[in-house]
């Protein structure tokens, strides 16, 4: 819950930039996994996807569609 509160305090521009950063990082992690390099932290992908979903939810609540 603390994470959601912190996200809600950020501006929309900050959320969009963090969303772009997380999506790019997720692509890199997935490409490493496909290339045969295993993940040390398997929950990392799931946590990143959830954080992306939280950011998108907050942006949509504010009326910003991406």
Q: Residue by residue, what is the 3-state secondary structure of 3-56?
A: HHHHHHHCCHHHHHHHHHHHHHHHHHHHHHHHCCCCCCCCHHHHHHHHHHHHHH
| 28-42 confidence digits (pLDDT tens) | 988 888 777 777 777
The answer on pLDDT for 48 being more than 80 is yes
Q: Could you give all domains of the chain from N- to C-terminal order, each with its CATH number?
A: 2-61 (1.10.287.310)
Mean of all residue pLDDT scores within the chain: 91
d(CA 65, CA 28): 25
Give 19's pLDDT tier (boundaries 50, 70, 90).
very high
Tokens at 62, concatenated = 């504010």
CA distances (Å), origin 2, targets 5, 8, 54: 5, 10, 12
pLDDT, position 53: 97
The answer on pLDDT for 58 being more than 80 is yes
């Amino acid at each position: 819950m603390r994470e959601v509160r912190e996200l809600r305090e950020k501006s929309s521009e900050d959320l969009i930039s963090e969303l772009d950063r997380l999506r790019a990082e997720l692509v890199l992690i997935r490409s490493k996994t496909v290339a045969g390099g295993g993940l040390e932290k398997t929950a990392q992908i799931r946590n990143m996807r959830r954080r992306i979903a939280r950011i998108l939810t907050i942006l949509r609540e504010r009326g910003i569609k991406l």
